[in-house]
Amino acid sequence: MMNRLVSITVIWFAIDFYFLQAILTATAGFGSLTQQCIVAAYWLADAAIVLSILYGALSPRIDFSASQKVKWLVGLVILSIVPKLLALPVLLVEDITRIIRALVNWLHHAPQAVPRNKEVSEVAIGLAVIPFFAIIYGMWRGKYRYQVHNITLSFNDLPEAFNGFTITHLSDIHSGSLVNTKRVAQGIALANKQQSNIIVFTGDLVNNKSSEMMPWISTFAALQASGGKYSVLGNHDYGDYIRWNTPGEKAANLEQLKQIHQQMGFRLLMNEHITLEKNGQTLTVAGVENWGKGGFVKHGDLRKAMNGVAGDAFTVLLSHDPSHWQHEVITWPQPIQLTLSGHTHGMQFGIEIFGFKWSPIKYMYKQWAGAYHNKEQVLYVNRGFGFLGFPGRVGIHPEITVITLRKTR
């Protein structure tokens, strides 16, 4: 871990030094003392963050996996690096042109240094300022700015009795990251305001330990739905990302988490299904344990979950990782009309405006936010209720999804 921290620190300071050239160019007319103060403040800010991270990594008194302070240090690192990365292309293009011009001068036997352009440096700094303040907002307010996404999905084979049936979909609570009880309670109230028939939760209740959820049980138990509340596990719920003293301790943690689902009034579906009945017609809600592509755990057993489901049943599947849909669900011999997932968080960083959406997570997950269609099947990926790692959300707000089922006429 120490070697990794050293490597990151070296790269970080290299980026800092490069971006500093733009600051020096843009402030060239400020006077020597003013410029020196700006440079000193620039370096002191980053040095303070680096020293704090090193202390957090080396101090035995700090639980690096759970400390809220560490999460804020991650946020400060992102605040320091990301804006500069967005400005680097401008500086790199300018430096390439400077090198070419210097070579031309040399070939013409007129060696002459080509100085940086002040206007270009100002543009680079301006490009860095925008994400800088966006990240500050995301850490301060954006992570609790809950938004309701209403979507209507139509199906030919939806039972008539369930025409207009509503589902509130939550995912990725990550209670170990939550701090602001008032804002979280407002999010729960907003979910209840939708008055959906059922509420579903598609995994990652915690970051690592079931104890993270203890202060929040009563808050999330307040979720109400006349048709019941149903949930599944996500990859973080198994406690795979921290060390345990014994295998038994890890197993006990998972059992406690299962009990917490029950205490909150959720029916946890562990590779199983339940049947909802209305006016003599039925709708199946199936849920699998986590199944993810690559190195993510594959405890999900779709065959077991669908065992006993009628061949002509209308099924809503809860599966934490959206990659499960593409790799297994859409080719399943029984029809699974609607799959609800989460997991990606929309990377907590992106752009959504006027119907356009983009996030770096799209290069890892083909289905990362919103609705996706494959013939008669639909996948909906929730952007997540909480946050992980970076203590904020920039452009991708926490989501409460409300899905209305309609029968195609």
Q: What is the mean pLDDT of residues 270-291?
A: 97
d(CA 274, CA 286): 6
State the pLDDT at residue 73. Answer: 76
Closest CA to 237 of 188, 327, 172: 172
1 pLDDT band, cuts 50/70/90, is low
Sole residue written with tokens 């430096």: 95
State the pLDDT at residue 59. Answer: 65
75 pLDDT band, cuts 50/70/90, is confident
Are the CB atoms for 161 and 280 separated by under 8 Å?
yes
Model confidence pLDDT, tens digit, residues 227-259 = 999 999 999 999 999 999 999 999 999 999 999
Residues in the chain: 409
Model confidence pLDDT, tens digit, residues 28-64 = 888 889 989 988 998 888 788 777 767 766 666 655 5
Residue 4, pLDDT > 80, answer: no
Residue 5, pLDDT > 80, answer: no
Instruction: Give pTM, 2 decimals.
Output: 0.88
Domains of the chain (ranges; CATH) run: 2-140 (no CATH), 145-407 (3.60.21.10)
Residue 66, pLDDT > 60, answer: no
Q: Which tokens belong to 197?
A: 């028939």
Q: Which tokens belong to 171?
A: 């995912």
d(CA 300, CA 104): 63
Q: What's the 3-state SS for the chain?
A: CHHHHHHHHHHHHHHHHHHHHHHHHHCCCCCHHHHHHHHHHHHHHHHHHHHHHHHHHHCCCCCCCCCHHHHHHHHHHHHHHHHHHHHHHHHHHHHHHHHHHHHHHHHCCCCCCCCCCHHHHHHHHHHHHHHHHHHHHHHHCHHHCCEEEEEEEEECCCCHHHCCCEEEEECCCCHHHCCCHHHHHHHHHHHHHCCCCEEEEECCCCCCCHHHHHHHHHHHHCCCCCCCEEEECCHHHHCCCCCCCCHHHHHHHHHHHHHHHHHCCCEECCCEEEEEEECCEEEEEEECCCECCCCCCECCCHHHHHCCCCCCCCEEEECCCCHHHHHCHHHCCCCCCEEEECCCHHHHECEEECCEEECHHHHCCCCCCEEEEECCEEEEECCCCCCCCCCCCECCCCEEEEEEEEECC
Q: What is the mean pLDDT of residues 170-177?
A: 97
d(CA 324, CA 36): 55
- 129: how many CB neighbours lie within 10 A of its CB? 12
State the pLDDT at residue 338. Answer: 99
Sole residue written with tokens 């993510």: 296
State the pLDDT at residue 309. Answer: 95
Are the CB atoms for 21 and 91 separated by under 8 Å?
yes
Average pLDDT, the chain: 92
Q: What is the sign of the dihedral through the CA atoms of 124, 130, 133 and 134? A: negative
Model confidence pLDDT, tens digit, residues 84-132 = 998 999 999 988 988 898 888 888 777 777 788 889 999 999 999 999 9
Sole residue written with tokens 């402030």: 27
Distances (CA, A) of 343 to 23, 178, 292, 362, 379: 39, 17, 10, 13, 13
